[in-house]
């Protein structure tokens, strides 16, 4: 009989890891005792971070941090904290434009758990296109390049049985239920028809939006504008996801948005898996 291991995974866009640390990010992580934490929008360079940013002491096993920094200071970047030491690290998707911005970080595990011996965890930060037409065009290029990467991961799953979990800020609200004011945002970046179709197509190709699998009708948001009183009035968007291969998604027992404490303009998305 296979042993079931309960695995807790957190994803959060921290909107600057140094700012989030001042708000209690690492103390909160310790209180959660997760197995894995995916971080987006690090907005720092390695030289800016002291040792405490790379090792979080927990009761049982420490979380070791792996970072993929943007070459541009104070911009983008992703990280993954893990109790298990990865057997392999892949930084980027072999596209210079986006690898220079630190958009995608993958860590691999072999001999993982009985039900998922080969497992890969990805922290991902999609570009935002809201600043300008130029940035929106960059976002479309990212989506095109990422589609190729997703298909290569799907092929890897087929050939080796490797399971994938993609965590991060996708900067896309998929359906009308996923943002408060959908009618006013149909022509805005993050809810454009082309972006939503891209996500639908990805989910049609063997990936699962874990939150929607568990909570098909829940109205929950993960990001709020810092203008006005958007968060106070819950005028938000669900743009942070855990997206998994079908088998891995089926092992999720619960997933939720953690409303407190407010560590950034995003809220953590937390999931529990039986592996």
Residues classed as catalytic: 169
User: Does a cis peptide bond (omega within 30 degrees of 0) precede residue 210?
Assistant: no
Q: What whole-number distance in Å separates Cα of residue 158 and Cα of residue 67? A: 28
Q: Tell me whether strands 88-91 and 104-109 are parallel, antiparallel or unpaired.
A: antiparallel
Q: What whole-number distance in Å separates Cα of residue 158 and Cα of residue 151? A: 11
Q: What whole-number distance in Å separates Cα of residue 24 and Cα of residue 34? A: 16
Q: How many residues does the chain have?
A: 275
Q: What whole-number distance in Å separates Cα of residue 52 and Cα of residue 9? A: 20
Please enumerate in sequence order all residues whose Cβ is within 8 A of that of 70, keeping only pairs 6 or more positions apart, or say none. Answer: 42, 43, 76, 77, 100, 101, 102
Crossing angle of helices 133-160 and 193-204, rounded to 10°: 0
């Amino acid at each position: 009989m296979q042993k079931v291991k309960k695995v807790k995974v957190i994803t959060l866009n921290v909107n600057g890891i140094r700012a989030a640390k001042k708000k209690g990010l690492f103390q909160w992580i310790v209180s959660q005792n997760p197995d894995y934490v995916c971080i987006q929008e690090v907005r720092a360079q390695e030289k800016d971070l002291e040792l405490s940013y790379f090792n979080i002491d927990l009761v049982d096993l420490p979380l070791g941090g792996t970072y993929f920094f943007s070459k541009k200071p104070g911009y983008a970047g992703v990280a993954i904290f893990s109790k298990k030491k990865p057997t392999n690290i892949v930084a980027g998707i072999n596209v210079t434009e986006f690898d220079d911005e630190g958009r995608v970080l993958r860590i691999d595990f072999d001999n993982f758990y009985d039900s998922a011996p080969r497992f890969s965890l990805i922290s991902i930060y999609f570009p935002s296109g809201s600043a300008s037409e130029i940035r929106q065009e960059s976002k479309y290029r990212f989506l095109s390049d990422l589609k190729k990467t997703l298909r290569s991961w799907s092929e890897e799953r087929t050939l080796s049985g490797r399971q994938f979990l993609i965590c991060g800020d996708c900067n896309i609200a998929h359906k009308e239920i996923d943002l408060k004011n959908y009618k006013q945002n149909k022509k805005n970046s993050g809810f454009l028809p082309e972006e939503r179709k891209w996500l639908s197509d990805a989910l049609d190709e063997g990936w699962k939006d874990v939150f929607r699998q568990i909570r098909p009708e829940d109205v929950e948001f993960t990001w709020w504008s810092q203008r006005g009183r958007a968060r106070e009035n819950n005028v938000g968007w669900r743009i942070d996801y855990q997206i998994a291969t079908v088998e891995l998604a089926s092992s999720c027992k619960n997933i939720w948005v953690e409303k407190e404490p407010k560590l950034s303009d995003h809220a953590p998305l937390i999931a529990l898996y039986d592996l």
